[in-house]
Each structure stands twice: as C-alpha cells, then as structure tokens.
Structure 1
Amino acid sequence: MILTQAHIPYDIAARAWKANGFRDSYAWHQRIWEAFPNQPKANRNFLTRLDDTGQDFRLLILSPDPPTRPDWCPSTQWESKAMDANFFHHPAYHFSLVANPTVKLVIHDEHGQRKKNGKRVPLIHREDKVIDGRTIPGLETWMQRKAAQHGFAIHPDHPLRIDPRPEQTFIKQGTVGKHQATEFSGVLTVSDQALFEQAVTQGIGSAKAFGFGLLCLSPINL
C-alpha cells in the first residue's frame, strides 16, 4: 500500500469552483480523483482523509498504486511512500478514525407492513437511546460493533474518545447532501489479522468517497 501526504494551502483551497476550487466535500472528492487519471471511478480503491491543521489542509491518501500529484498541489507539499508490510502485524495501535456513523431504521407503510428500504439516519449521541420503543445505538456502540466486525477491539484501559466534527454539506448534481462527521480515537488490539488488514485497506463505515473511513494507526507496546 502507498501512503500519500499532501498539504494544500488555504489560498488554493479557497479558489472559486470554476477555477478548480474546493467549495465542499464533493469538490474535494472530484479534485482528488485527478490523482488517479487512468482509473475508472467505478473501480475506486483508495481511501482519503482531510484535516484542517490550522495552517493548511492535510490530505492523506491510502492506495494500492502511487497517485499522480495534481497541478493544484505544490510539488514540495506532496509525498508518497510505500508502507512496510510488517506495519500491519503489530498487536496494538493508537488509532484515529474519522467516520460517518449511521444506522438503518426499519420503516413501515400505512398498513403496518415493513418497507423494503429502511431509513438511514446519522448517529449523534454517545450512549444508546430508546426512541418510540426501539433502541437506537449510540456512537460508542457503533464503534465497538465496527471493531468486532473488523478484527480488533477497543482496549478497555484506554478510554475511547469521541469528538464531533462539523457537519459536511455538499452539492452533487444540483442536489444538496450532508454527512455527519465524528472522530474516534484511542487504543486498539488486533484479534483477527486478516480482517484488520482488510479494514485498514478498504475502510470502515459509509461515505468513503467523501473522506471517511481511513483508519490512521501508530504501533505501540502495551
């Protein structure tokens, strides 16, 4: 896997949309595609994460193949390197994950019949809640479930930190959409190596094309 780090100055990110600007998360999605000019969008196989550092925007890209630096990123602010295959073989890591946690609710029609498609809603509360007689999982439950699905566990001696991020509103093909962003961080221990590596390379949760799901890791000794 190739990890790319780019720093995009604020003045570039503030360009008008017609001048290849970055007006919202969908615009970032479109601009980042320029780093993979020969890859059909249907075969998207990379993950991204964007952070405002207070000095610029830091963009991370995790991809199987090296991306091409787009013209909008200064050459001095773009760096790609191959990850050591042994990086995924540590028993424990500090982690940070910016995700779009959602839950799909069962919806019934006027006759009480369950509809084929439910309603997907964002999760914004930390603890589980009971609403209209049904339990809606909280953010902590969501993260614990995702960990179990993806071959790792949140270390009980290191509290899970949950930090809300600003809601992301975007325009796609004339339609306004939004994502609820949440950052999870803490310490994880690996229980299933294959599932864990798959989670790192394929991402966790929904809206991966919009910069969610990239698991940032730093190995530690417990």
Structure 2
Amino acid sequence: MTALTEGLHLARLSLNPYSQEARDDLKERGSLHRRIQALFPDQLGAEPRAAARILFRLERTDQSTTVLIQSAIAINRNALPNGYTNTDVEYRDLTPLLNWAGTGRTVQYRIDAHPARAVRAPHEPGVARPRGKRVPLQGQNAIDWWHRQATFAGLQPHVVLDLEQPAVTANRDSGKRISYRVTRFEGTATITDPDALQTALRQGIGQGRAFGLGMLSIAPNRA
C-alpha cells in the first residue's frame, strides 16, 4: 500500500502527568495505539495505520514522557483530550531530512525494536509444517539481528548501543494479550542505500509497529 503523500511529518507530544487519559494510555499500549489512530481521518481504508504510515515511539526521562508520532499526514491535535499534553504539540516536516539523506552521509539513529528469531518445531513427514515460534534475542544475538536489519535498511552501523527497555504489553481487539521484549538500538551509521533507508523510515522495522516499536529515526551526525 502506498503512502498518502511523499512527505513525512513528525509530531512531538509531551504528556501531562496529571492527565488521567494520558496515564491510562501509558498503562497499556493497545490504549495508546487507539488514541493515536483517533488523531487521523476515518476514511483510510481497511489498514489505516499502513495507509498513513503511522509509527510512534515512547520516550521517557525522570522528568517527562514524550510520544513521537511519525506519519504521512499531519495529526489532528484537536482530537486530543483537554489537558492531555502539558505543552503545545511540536511539529516537524521531515522532507528536508529525507532529501539530505544520500549515500555516504553519516547519521545518528535510534529505534526501539523487538529482536527475535523463529524457531521451528520438528517436522514430521506427511504432516503440515507447524508455525515457528518467535524467540526474543538478547546481548550479542540482538546486536547481530540489528546489524542485519540495518544493512537491509541501507545503513552501515559504526556504533551500536543496545539498551533494554520496559516490555511492551497490549491487548488486541480479539482479546489476546501480547508482550514484546524491547531493545533500544542507537548509535552512528553511514548511509549505503538511500532508497532502502527511505522504505525503512516510512514502513518501520520488525514486529510490534502498531504498539510503538520499529520506528527508525535519523539525524545528521554533527560530531
């Protein structure tokens, strides 16, 4: 499915710690997912998140909690509950950054991801092959996973920091509860394939993209 526009937008929401709606959304990623979907038009078809290229990432410090929302169309901030944020919503057009991101450029990157691999059960002849179970990766295995994903995304990492994050749990509409083990990868890299990078930036990487994982962010490396 193609994006609605060629550009990308980034919205930064600084959540109000005294907002009951914000606190409720932070307890369960399915709730935050639905809140973010409500910021976009209803007429986006059967797969609205994919149609609008909606990705988001939650960033916390001791003093604040911020939601970064990336999308092909700007959010409707008027759809936020009163008092949901404690500052005005900040907007940024990412098009100049995308135009700048050519082969050989050095960037800083960040992504919260669920590194995992599929482990298949033994296969008996004449019996349908069972679906593989995805097993979370840690340590060097997780770093190796990110190196592979980064290469597919048109990046050659130079520095990789892997920081374990709180697990993401969510209730699907079907009632099934899911959980993702989360690693934040950040560092510096050289762009090797701008087209592959653009695809990764727009589509995200890995599992859990509906629940705040897989959003790749880049910025020029000023060091």
- The TM tier, using the shorter chain, reads 0.7 to 0.9
How far 1:112 moved relative to its partner? 9.6
How far 1:110 moved relative to its partner? 6.0
**Distance in 1 between the 2:23 and 2:211 partners?**
20
Query: Could you tell me whether the CA contact under 8 Å between 1:8 and 1:77 is conserved in 2?
Result: no
How far 1:16 moved relative to its partner? 7.4
**Distance in 2 between the 1:214 and 1:16 partners?**
22
**Distance in 2 between the 1:71 and 1:140 partners?**
37
Relative to structure 1, the CA distance from residue 111 to residue 48 in structure 2 (aligned partners, 3 Å threshold; closer, same or farther) is same
How far 1:114 moved relative to its partner? 7.1
**Distance in 1 between the 2:22 and 2:152 partners?**
41
Alignment of 1:41-190 (within 5 A): 42-44=47-49, 45-69=53-77, 70-72=79-81, 73-74=84-85, 76-83=87-94, 84=96, 85-89=98-102, 91-109=105-123, 115-123=129-137, 125-127=138-140, 138-155=141-158, 158=159, 160-172=160-172, 173-190=174-191
How far 1:177 moved relative to its partner? 1.4
Relative to structure 1, the CA distance from residue 52 to residue 221 in structure 2 (aligned partners, 3 Å threshold; closer, same or farther) is closer
Query: Could you tell me whether the CA contact under 8 Å between 1:150 and 1:196 is conserved in 2?
Result: yes
1:25 equivalent in structure 2: 29
Query: Could you tell me whether the CA contact under 8 Å between 1:107 and 1:114 is conserved in 2?
Result: no
**Distance in 2 between the 1:16 and 1:151 partners?**
37
Query: Could you tell me whether the CA contact under 8 Å between 1:6 and 1:79 is conserved in 2?
Result: yes
- Report percent identity of matched pairs: 26
How many residues were matched structurally? 205
How far 1:215 moved relative to its partner? 1.3
**Distance in 1 between the 2:204 and 2:15 partners?**
23
Relative to structure 1, the CA distance from residue 175 to residue 195 in structure 2 (aligned partners, 3 Å threshold; closer, same or farther) is same
Query: Could you tell me whether the CA contact under 8 Å between 1:13 and 1:22 is conserved in 2?
Result: no
**Distance in 2 between the 1:103 and 1:53 partners?**
30
**Distance in 1 between the 2:57 and 2:119 partners?**
28
1:217 matches 2:218: yes
1:8 equivalent in structure 2: 15
Query: Could you tell me whether the CA contact under 8 Å between 1:5 and 1:79 is conserved in 2?
Result: yes
Any gaps of 5 or more consecutive residues in structure 1?
A: 128-137
- Equivalent position SS for 1:182: strand
Note the alpha carbon deviations across 1:107-148, whole angstroms, 9 max, x for none: 12566967242111211x212xxxxxxxxxx10110111011
RMSD: 2.4
Counterpart residue type for residue 126 of structure 1: G
TM-score (norm 1): 0.82
Structure 1, 203-212 or 81-90: larger mean CA deviation? 81-90
